[in-house]
Structure 1
Amino acid sequence: MHGKEISENIEEYLETIYKKSLAGDMAKTTEISKDLDIAPGSVTQMLKKLEEEGYVNYYQYRGVKLTDKGYKIAKSIVRKHRLLETFLYETLGLDMEDLHEQACAMEHSLSDEAERKLCQLLEYPDQCPDDHNIIPVCDLNISTCYECSTIHSIDEINRRTENLIAIGNMKPQQVGKVKFIRGDNDKIQKLLNLGITIESEITLINSTPLNGPVKILVESEELLLDKELSYNTFVELE
């Protein structure tokens, strides 16, 4: 749990930068200021502090990007937040308008083991309910959710050193190897039917608008992968 290592304030900054820079662009100081309701001057001071501590790279007048260190922490917080929103809505029945604030209050104190058990309880969700944003993948060094379910304690699982990205979030011509498949055996079987397994090499050709499929190259064969599978199949970029 990162809350014991860094302050909730820093976590909020990293979470905001993560959301603003998910497409690969730099997060702007003005955007961070607006989202956190903090004066731009104070935001700039904090970004410089975060850079000194190795969480971000700050470029004056241009914006800020997360380092690998900052990205791992931010992704973990976003994952916990979105899992909590799903739990609060689907299990406890909270109103949609209350989800974000309540999840914000809980995300910093949720342990990694509680997060894992929550994910299992919810049957490995891939989207949060209020805005349908994708729930980031965990950083456990496993290849499927079934593998996770067979392990008693999170202490028995190593952490990934690499950052994974969903096929649906890849950019055209990016290449990666499949490292994790989220969901039940049905999703795994669908991918197997397409010839996609762990360690398959994937090249994104292009994405279609809205909820259409993405076109990928698997080894040397062009395939269409539906949106659901594209956001539940994760690769390590080469």
Structure 2
Amino acid sequence: MPKREISENIEEYLESLYKFGCVSDHVSTTTLSKNLDVAPGSVTQMLKKLEKLGYVNYIPYKGATLTPKGSKIAQKITRKHRILELFLKDVLGIKFENLHVQACEMEHSLSDEAERAMCIMLKEPDLCPDGNIIPACDFDFENCEECRNYSKDVEEIGLRSSNLLSITQVREGHCGTVSFIRGNVLELASVLELHITMGSKIKVITKDSSKDYLIISVDDKETPIKRDIANNIFLKVH
């Protein structure tokens, strides 16, 4: 097994920052303390350490945000966790209440090869059992068809240099460029029907969580888009 680059403890912090950072500008030490069941003082010390390592930006009494370096690690471990939860539930039949703990125990040792195999087996899922977005993989593919048809070893696949967010994760008023589309041929076709292709410029106009549609602009033309489609269109945010 290859040597670990960072500790499981650091990965847990980055994963929590990713989870709460999608809905907040800064994640407070109080939020992290409750989520990780760690004393606030210990959280503060860890955030200072993570800042020195270049994983977060930390502001005392306000909280922390992930840097691009930290976000890349956080997305990767979050993706593994959420795919594992779905695999444990749908394939192994593990009870819902046990999914999170078991996925936490497994995510840090799950290889990229196993993650990719699970993703293909589960037919490129977009949501975990809790209904949270499964982040895109960091392999340098434009869509899942390219991944399925790739026959070489996983170590030979190039990696993306940029972090991506699905349209449903991008905040209102923010923009991005389409860099990855998840799903099968039919799902890709439904995206093309909206005149969305690789490189399209997307702006999120409204994203009311109580509705099945979001309003976006595609290359400056406003259009509604179903939430389940938006989940699978990933942007490099500007």
Q: Which range, TM-score by smaller chain?
A: over 0.9
**Structure 2 length-normalised TM:** 0.95
* Aligned partner letter, 1:55: Y
* Aligned partner letter, 1:76: K
Does residue 1:139 correspond to 2:138, yes or no? yes
Q: Is the 8 A contact 1:3 1:109 kept in 2?
A: no
Q: Structure 2 regions of 5+ residues with no counterpart?
A: none
Aligned to 1:221: 221
Q: Is the 8 A contact 1:3 1:108 kept in 2?
A: no
SS in structure 2 of the partner of residue 116 of structure 1: helix
CA deviation profile, 1:136-159 (whole Å, cap 9, x unmatched): 111111110010011122222211
Query: Per-residue deviation at 1:24?
Result: 4.5
**Matches of 1:170 and 1:156, distance apart in 2:** 31
Aligned to 1:183: 183
Once the two structures are superposed, the pairs formed by residues 1-150 of structure 1 within 5 Å of their partners are 4-129=4-129, 131-150=130-149
* Aligned partner letter, 1:147: E
**Matches of 2:184 and 2:165, distance apart in 1:** 19
**Matches of 1:93 and 1:3, distance apart in 2:** 32
Aligned-pair RMSD on alpha carbons?
1.5
Alpha carbons of structure 1 residues 220 and 45: separation in structure 2 relative to 1, 3 Å: closer
Alpha carbons of structure 1 residues 2 and 160: separation in structure 2 relative to 1, 3 Å: farther
Query: Per-residue deviation at 1:162?
Result: 0.9
The share of aligned pairs that are identical, in percent, is 49
**Matches of 2:72 and 2:2, distance apart in 1:** 10
SS in structure 1 of the partner of residue 117 of structure 2: helix
Q: Structure 1 regions of 5+ residues with no counterpart?
A: none
* Aligned partner letter, 1:202: I
Query: Per-residue deviation at 1:2?
Result: 9.1
SS in structure 2 of the partner of residue 64 of structure 1: strand
Once the two structures are superposed, the pairs formed by residues 190-229 of structure 1 within 5 Å of their partners are 190-229=190-229
* Aligned partner letter, 2:150: I
Query: Per-residue deviation at 1:173?
Result: 2.6
Alpha carbons of structure 1 residues 28 and 209: separation in structure 2 relative to 1, 3 Å: same
Query: Per-residue deviation at 1:221?
Result: 2.4
CA deviation profile, 1:130-182 (whole Å, cap 9, x unmatched): x1111111111111001001112222221111111111122223222211111
**Structure 1 length-normalised TM:** 0.95
CA deviation profile, 1:85-106 (whole Å, cap 9, x unmatched): 0000000001001100100000
Moved over 6 A (4+): none
